[in-house]
Structure formats: structure tokens, C-alpha cells
Amino acid sequence: MRDLESDAPAHSDGLLRLSTPGLQILQLTHLVSGIYDEQTLPALQACGRPTTITGYTEWIDAAGSPATLGWDWELRCMPGQARWHRLSLPFTNVLLINDQRRDFPWHRNLQRLADWVDTLAWAEPLRTALLLRYACHPGH
């Protein structure tokens, strides 16, 4: 395991403190994802209507640090197109620190992590994981 932040302040709160450069070297890899059960009214179950699918995803650092990062997502399905979007601020054990090694306020931390997640190519690994988990297999 590489030492992401040997100069980060040590705390016993379970949070992994990272500077922005430390965040950039995380090697996020998919851990688990799922689809939330859709609660729809019978009147809304009309064939051919636009729909959305929502779920969650959780990622870890492939290099072995204890960093975890997850978020809720939505797949918007419209005729002829499907688009993946992050819905929520991340759930995480990562807390960003500033140049003076001070913690960012929690909401600002989550917003910065969300902005970073939006730059990542997460949709295809998520799609693949969902297909493996939910696709019908012959003989089942």
C-alpha cells in the first residue's frame, strides 16, 4: 500500500485525510453497485413511457489505501438514449485538507469530491457490474 498522505494530520475519527494532489492519485476501482426498487403507481406503469432507474455504487482504491467513495446514480431512459448521472453527494471516508493541512468543512469536502467524481469515467464499469449482477442467465 502506498502512503497517500504521510504528512496528513493523524486523527482517530476514521477519516482518510487527503490533499487535492493526494486525491488525484487514487486509483478508484468498482467494488459493488445495486439498483433501488422502484415504487411506481399502477397508473404510471404504461408501456413506452420514459423511465428512470436509480441505484448506488461504491468504489475503493485499487492501490490498497482505505479510501472508499460511493454515490447514488440515475439512469435516465428516453426514446433513443440513456444517460447516467450522479444524484447525490458522495458517501465517503475521505476528507480533503487544504494547503495549511486543515480539514475542509464537510459539505464543501463532499461538493469537491462530487465535482471530482463527475470527471471520472464511472458509467461503463457501473453498467458492466449491473449487467453481471442483474442479467438473466440461461438456466436460471
- How does pLDDT run across 80-126, given as a tens digit for each residue? 788 999 999 999 999 999 999 999 999 999 999 999 999 999 999 99
Mean pLDDT computed over every residue of the chain? 86
Q: How far is CA 14 from CA 25, 34, 35, 66, 113, in A?
A: 20, 25, 28, 10, 17
- Cα–Cα distance measured from residue 15 to residue 94, given in angstroms and rounded to the nearest whole number: 6
Q: Which residues contact 129 (CB under 8 A, 6 or more apart)?
A: 30, 32, 33, 57
Annotated domain spans of the chain: 16-36+49-131
- How does pLDDT run across 16-37, given as a tens digit for each residue? 999 999 999 999 999 999 999 8
pLDDT above 70 (res 4):
no
Question: What is the CATH architecture of 16-36+49-131?
Answer: Roll (3.10)
47: left (phi over 0), alpha (psi -120 to 50) or beta: beta
Note whether 83 and 18 are within 8 A (CB).
Answer: no
Q: What is this structure's pTM?
A: 0.81
- Cα–Cα distance measured from residue 75 to residue 127, given in angstroms and rounded to the nearest whole number: 10
